Amino acid sequence: MVRVTTDHFQGLFKEREIDVEQGNVFLEHLSRRMPEDIREEVMEAQISLEEVESALRRMGKGKVPGMDGLPAEFYLKFWGILGPVVLKVLKAILETGVPGGSMAVGVLSLLHKKGEVTDLGNWRPLPMLCVDYKLLAKVLADRLRTALPYVVHKDQTCGVEGRSIRWNLQLIRNSIAWVEDRGLPLMVAELDQAKAFDRVNRSFLFRVLGRLGFGEKFIGWIRTLFVVAGCRVSVNSHLGDVFDLSSGVRQGCPISALLFVLYMEPLGAAIRADTGVEGLLIPGSGGLRVKMTQYADDTSLLLCKDSCLTRSLAIFGDFTRASGAVLNHAKSSVKFFGRWRGRTDVPGGLSLCEGALRILGVHFETSGSATLNWNMHIAVVQRKLAMWKARYLSFMGKDLVLKVDVLPSLLYLAYIYPLPACLRRPLVRLVFQFMWSGRCEWVARARMLCPIGEGGRGLPHFPLKLDAIFVSFLLTELAHPVIHPSGYLLRVFFSYQARSVMVWSNTGPRAEQLPWHFGHEAKWLHAHPEVEVARVGLDHRHLYNEVRQAGSPPPVVGISAVVWEGVQARGLDNRLKDLNWLSLHKCLPVRSIMYRYSLVQSPTCPRSSCGREETVRHVFWDCAFAGVVWARARVLLGLVRGDFVLTWARLERGVGRARGTDRDRFLLWLLMSLFKWGLWEARQNMVKTGRDWGVEGIVRRVEGDLRGRMKREERKWGQHAARERWKGGLGLGVI
């Protein structure tokens, strides 16, 4: 298996013959040049220790190391020793043009994409590279990133500082809206390349660099990265023989994407220069026609004539002979919009996209694109939350899941389409069902959205957050000069609608009919008159906070932020924080509350010897059983502070400013919280199973919890320090 796999990928990375003369034709279309001062002062300057250290600190942590087994964390830990040595080695490599033998050898890990697993073409090779190699590549990539804005056309947004993938998507979205509104013809062709990064012809790439004004010295440094580049395929932890990489740029290498952007620049320049390719006329641009938009190897054509597509494909065919790039006809498709909606004949031999056209992860249709995309994303959220539900997380853990895993998965689409009204409630319902595990929601949703200091959990208001992102991006684009053609269409559609919050110019054209996504946000701005750009700025975080605070409930009467934060003090288990928070809200499912909602037959305490109404205070304080438990607890509390007086106010709201050190106050609150937890768990166990733990059962559980904590701190701090932190072991005989 290893030998067959090695032979397959060795053939994939074999250099292919190209037409040099055809390549020269494409190079003639490159008119941009790098400024001489950038080339001399930045690109070809000696590398410094600061550059290398900066590159190291920005490398991803927790990544699989290369052949030498040394991760980035190793270099960071010993950088004071290794730094000067690494710098000396990298300088020597750049001077001699020859990297170390194992340095340039990567391990190919195979990732199955889709399709038959027996077809090696369905496996993506992911190289695991040595950190010293990636350090050199990252330093050169940082310099190359400085030069890209000067030599790469604005149609290409990948890797260029100050440009965004959102520009591509907004251009396509607004172009479709424009032709649908005006009844203009438009075809959008999505061109897919087969093994794009793996088929890069390096000789053509170096000629492109020279044509764009890169010096021989810098080109030589780039060449050094590929001189002895090799790979070993890993199959079931077995490594194949080393083979040379004669073509391609390595996926996973810090500089690969930037080099690929430059490699694709001649194709874009040739299509833009060809008079036989007619793009979409952008209103308000002074006659600008957009023919294409690019993001790395993703090329989308916006054309208005059949002959334009035929001509574009012919240019791509010439580019194949010049560079080795190959168009994947099976995955390239065309969709018609505007006047051409409903067409089934596709010129050029490409396939017709009958459903939604997928570009850069977003699906585009003639109408209903927002609902289509958001339905897909909410389905993903549903799957994520279903997976996390099995973990039995605390409120704080669930809040973290929503902020770190769920919300980020929605942000990409939020910049392109706002969340439709019909999906807002289902999304909110998913969030709160997850927070309460599908049970009764004892605290109001509006309160849950408030910060912890206001009695909430600090949950993100998902619809409001997504709206703020979409609106702030639109306002930011309107507030700055037009850089990308998408900015002209934005002004046509939305500048008049945003006149209430920012300066508006009436010099350009404006649309009478708004596409759905712009109409939605116009209504949103009208519904939130508190939004003033001059005051909240253009950052979506400020905008979100402004609008959220305007709709927040008033603070809970009589409970300050200090109390809310104190009962959930840092150092407590999340289960204890949750219990203290619910207890302070008086929202635990005790019988008096459940009786009010007809969930139980009696509001009295479940202990047969009691007979009084069961409230939150009763469970933790007034019940005779609780009194006996606290009599035992006072012994431990007295070991922390002999003069400490336990009251219901302190049990409910925390120890506040009780006498003693911060550590004393924390230990007091920890002990009180543990006994509260014991009382509540004993009550729950008795209701569900009928078995009573008794006072001794609660005390044993609290003591067992304390012993575990002390042992952990003993391992962490040492026996002597732990003894001091735990007041000599609180009489438990552990330390």
Q: Is 567 a member of any domain?
A: no
Which pairs count as long-range contacts for 543-551, CB under 8 Å and 24+ apart, including other chains?
A: 543/468, 543/471, 543/472, 544/461, 544/464, 544/465, 544/468, 544/469, 547/464, 547/468, 548/449, 548/461, 548/464, 551/446
Same domain, 45 and 142: yes
Contacts of 76 (CB under 8 A, 6+ apart): 56, 57
Q: Is 269 a member of any domain?
A: yes
Amino acid code (one letter) for 646: L
Report the distance separating Cα 636 and Cα 377, nearest Å.
52
Q: Which two tokens stand for residue 642?
A: 């002999």
Alpha helices (H) in 198-255, listed in sequence order: 202-211, 216-224
The series of mean pLDDT values per 10 residues for the chain, 735 residues long, is: 78 83 95 92 92 93 86 93 94 86 80 80 82 92 95 95 94 94 94 90 95 94 83 81 82 91 96 94 92 95 95 96 92 94 90 94 95 97 94 93 96 96 96 94 93 94 94 86 90 73 63 86 82 64 86 88 93 93 94 91 90 94 94 90 90 83 89 95 92 92 90 84 71 44
Q: Which helix (H) or strand (E) holds 352?
A: strand 351-352
Same domain, 100 and 120: yes
User: How many independent structural domains does the chain possess?
Assistant: 3
Same domain, 460 and 400: yes
Report the distance separating Cα 391 and Cα 384, nearest Å.
12
Same domain, 526 and 609: no
Range of the domain at 171: 2-362
Same domain, 179 and 272: yes
Q: In the Cβ-directed half-sphere of 392, how many Cα atoms lie within 13 Å?
A: 1
Which runs of E-coded beta strand occur in 133-198? 185-191
| Start-to-end CA span in the chain (Å) | 58
- SS3 state at 359: strand
Q: Is 566 a member of any domain?
A: no
Q: Which two tokens stand for residue 488?
A: 């002209």
Sole residue written with tokens 């969340």? 419
The pLDDT value given to residue 735: 31
Per-residue DSSP letter, 727:
G
Amino acid code (one letter) for 336: F
Same domain, 508 and 594: no
Nearest CA-CA partner of 333 in 315, 317, 347, 321: 347
Residues 435 and 395: beta-carbon distance below 8 Å = yes
Same domain, 54 and 32: yes
Nearest CA-CA partner of 540 in 490, 593, 469, 641: 469
Domain termination residue (choose one: 362, 379, 394)? 362
Q: In the Cβ-directed half-sphere of 120, how many Cα atoms lie within 13 Å?
A: 17
- Give one DSSP letter per residue of 395-452, joined into a string: HHHHHHHIIIIITHHHHHHHTTSPPPHHHHHHHHHHHHHHHTTTS---S-HHHHTS-G
Nearest CA-CA partner of 189 in 10, 416, 398, 343: 343
Report the distance separating Cα 184 and Cα 186, nearest Å.
7
β 362-364/357-359 pair status: antiparallel
Q: Which two tokens stand for residue 483?
A: 């850089």
Same domain, 255 and 394: no
The pLDDT value given to residue 534: 47
Q: Which two tokens stand for residue 549?
A: 């605070």
Report the distance separating Cα 47 and Cα 89, nearest Å.
11
Residues 462 and 445: beta-carbon distance below 8 Å = no
Same domain, 198 and 104: yes
Q: Is 82 a member of any domain?
A: yes
